[in-house]
Structure formats: structure tokens, C-alpha cells
Amino acid sequence: LYETRFVLRLRAAVARRERAGLTSRAYRIPIGASLCEFDDLFTAPEAGFESGVDYYEQCSSLPHVASIEVPTVWISAADDPFVDPAGFADAPRSAHVHLHLEPAGGHVGYLARSGAGCERWLEGALEHYVGELVAAVRRRGRS
């Protein structure tokens, strides 16, 4: 349901860009297209990629995660409808990268269910990790 609505909004955005002369050509994106189909039909050709898969592979940060040399928190949710955690949870990563994988939260929304309904958990995670960073800097300053 989310993907269908998202792609409908993307189709509308493409139509606006076409009317404004901001695309390289006219695109036909069928109603009901999936996000992968949208990327094959619009994103990839408009950005100079051979296909949606080519776009995903060339733009992925995954091949670089093993080379990160600064402390990094990678935040995601197990139920992300666009980025499957199976693709990165076991991927090689440097010792500087900590994967914070919430069981639920979707894509970028970072929502959690509580007794009061849905609430955003990202703020709490950021507060936790920034607090740890500040504490580490203070410890380093004392040594």
C-alpha cells in the first residue's frame, strides 16, 4: 500500500517535471507500477544508468561500509519496505560501524508502536548515540 501510494506521487512529480521541460524526454509509467519498475522506466534512464539494477548497484553505499574509518552508526528498520536488511545485515563492515536495526519502523519514518499508538524512535536513538559520543570525547579529554 505504501509503495503504491509512493509511486503514484512519483508519477505525479515526473508529470510536473515533464510539463516544466525538466526531463530529457516523455516517460510512460503505468498506473500500478512498482518502485523497481519506476526506477527501470524513469530513474535509471533519466540519470544515465542502464537499468534500475545498474542504478542500485552503482549508487549503493554497501561496497564502502567495510572501509569506513570513523565511528558510524548505521540506523535502519527490519521492516523497511525498500531496503531489505538481509542485503546488509551480514555484509562486511569495519569495526567502526555499528548497525542499529530496529524490528519495526519502515523506511525513514522510524516509527515504533507503543501503548499510545505510533511514535518516532529515531529521536531516542540519536539522543543515545550522541550521548555516547559526548561521553567518549570527555573520557578522551581526561586521558
CA dihedral 101, 78, 9, 16 (to 10 degrees): 50
Residue 120's φ and ψ, nearest 5 degrees, are: -85, 130
Q: What is the pTM of this model?
A: 0.69
pLDDT at 81: 81
The structural domain count of the chain equals: 2
Domain extent at residue 7: 2-59
What does the DSSP 8-state code read for residue 111?
E
Q: Which one of 59, 91, 107 terminates a domain?
A: 59
pLDDT at 42: 98
Domain shared by 106 and 39, yes or no = no
Domain shared by 87 and 50, yes or no = no
56, three cell numbers: 542500485
Q: Could you write out the DSSP letters of every residue in the chain?
A: -HHHHHHHHHHHHHHHHHHTT-SSS-----TT--HHHHIIIIIHHHHT-SSHHHHHHHH-SGGGGGG--S-EEEEEETT-SSS-GGGTTTS---TTEEEEEESS-TTTT-EEEETTEEEE-HHHHHHHHHHHHHHHHHHHHH-
Domain shared by 23 and 37, yes or no = yes
Domain shared by 78 and 137, yes or no = yes
Domain shared by 67 and 102, yes or no = yes
Domain shared by 14 and 39, yes or no = yes
Q: What pLDDT tens digit does each residue of the chain (143 aa) get?
A: 678 888 999 999 999 999 999 999 999 999 999 999 999 999 999 999 999 999 999 999 899 999 999 989 888 888 888 888 887 888 899 999 988 888 877 776 655 555 666 667 777 888 888 998 899 889 988 76
Domain shared by 7 and 68, yes or no = no
